[in-house]
A = this chain, B = another copy of it.
């Protein structure tokens, strides 16, 4: 079954947008029966049926049942009568025009898969793709490439350490032109957005995918930050204006963060946390996941360590390692770590033993060096020559010593 909608034009697109806005309000994210109805009937007919404005037609129902079987849904999940009981609760107050108006009053918009600027990466979610995306910010930024975006996420109750790592990582990634996607929450999310805005050269530098409606900036304390994100990046949400960011929506929201990015970095996470869910959703979408290590005494890092131990995430310590993780094979290998070369680099084992045997002050004669290092006279003479060339050994009287 091809779930990709074809692009309608003009007033058709308007009708589609209104219908999808209505569905956004009517059903919770990833409601399997609703998503299937939408895929089989299209947005306008799906809303009519879901809202109870008309019964489902026999041919429509047959196609729906076939599609449900194909999608592996269980019969009780797709009994239209039961589903409509669930959808009916919100159908009474359904007013998509009002929701679109609310969004517009906040300078927002509502993008749908039928729009040419719909982010293509969301198609990877299949039947779990969002019905539409409510957004604030310059809409021209919406088709930002997932291949140049990274999710930086983590606990709200982060440590000073985690906050610093998030600032460093997000700043470094954004400074190299990557879009930093996060969830707009306190803690790690906040640090990631802020650092990306400060360093960002990407278009957009940062995107916040929120769990509640875009008409209210949540949490309150991040109001100024989220306004900055809106000014230079994007605020996105799959739920209608006015919807509260419930725990369930937080978890569902994470799949969108995963789908909109090339990979996810969990900076800090407790043993059980939403970040675990984000990581597993990214993994399910074949998006790589990185986790930042920390103190074994810090509960704020326990979830990261768990992800690494369970093989759900790769340990990452800096932006280079994050980019190596998300880049196509070989495209961004971590540069060889620069560290002071040891003076023994490239020396053979016998020459190392000779170097070990050299005294630091008074010189030692070659026969004595041979005994100390367990080498033949020939090996000692050749070795002294090589060590002298590397400025590791020097003559001292009749003997040799280590050069400092």
Using a CB–CB distance below 8 Å, which chain A residues touch chain B?
Answer: 26-28, 31, 82, 85-90, 92-93, 161, 164-165, 246-249, 271-272, 292-297, 301-302, 305, 308-309, 314-318, 321, 337, 339, 342, 344, 349, 352-353, 355-357, 367, 370-371, 373-379
Contact = CB atoms under 8 A, between A and B. Distances in A.
Contacts of A295: 161, 293-295
A5 to B, nearest CB: 23
A376 B337 contact: no
Contacts of A294: 293-296
Given A86-B374, A86-B375, A318-B296, A344 B247 contact: yes
22 contacts: A26-B374, A28-B373, A82-B376, A85-B379, A86-B370, A86-B376, A89-B367, A89-B370, A89-B371, A89-B373, A89-B377, A161-B297, A247-B352, A248-B352, A272-B342, A292-B296, A293-B301, A293-B315, A296-B318, A302-B337, A309-B314, A309-B321
A381 B364 CA distance: 92
Contacts of A305: 293, 315, 317
Closest 6 CB pairs of A and B: A85-B376, A293-B293, A89-B370, A246-B356, A296-B317, A86-B376
Q: How many copies does the complex hold?
A: 2
A312 to B, nearest CB: 12
A339 B299 CA distance: 11
A357 B318 CA distance: 40
Given A247-B344, A293-B296, 9 more contacts: A86-B379, A89-B373, A89-B374, A90-B371, A246-B356, A248-B349, A272-B339, A293-B315, A296-B318
Contacts of A352: 247-248
B248 A356 contact: yes
A80 to B, nearest CB: 12
A376 B355 CA distance: 81
B93 A371 contact: yes
Nearest to A251: B352
Nearest to A350: B86
A19 to B, nearest CB: 17
A354 to B, nearest CB: 10
Contacts of A342: 272
B90 A31 contact: no
A377 B86 CA distance: 7
Q: Which of A27, A305, A321, A353 has the most CB of B within 10 A?
A: A305
Contact of A309 (B82, B161, B246, B315): B315
Nearest to A307: B315
A34 to B, nearest CB: 10
A272 B292 CA distance: 20
A168 to B, nearest CB: 8
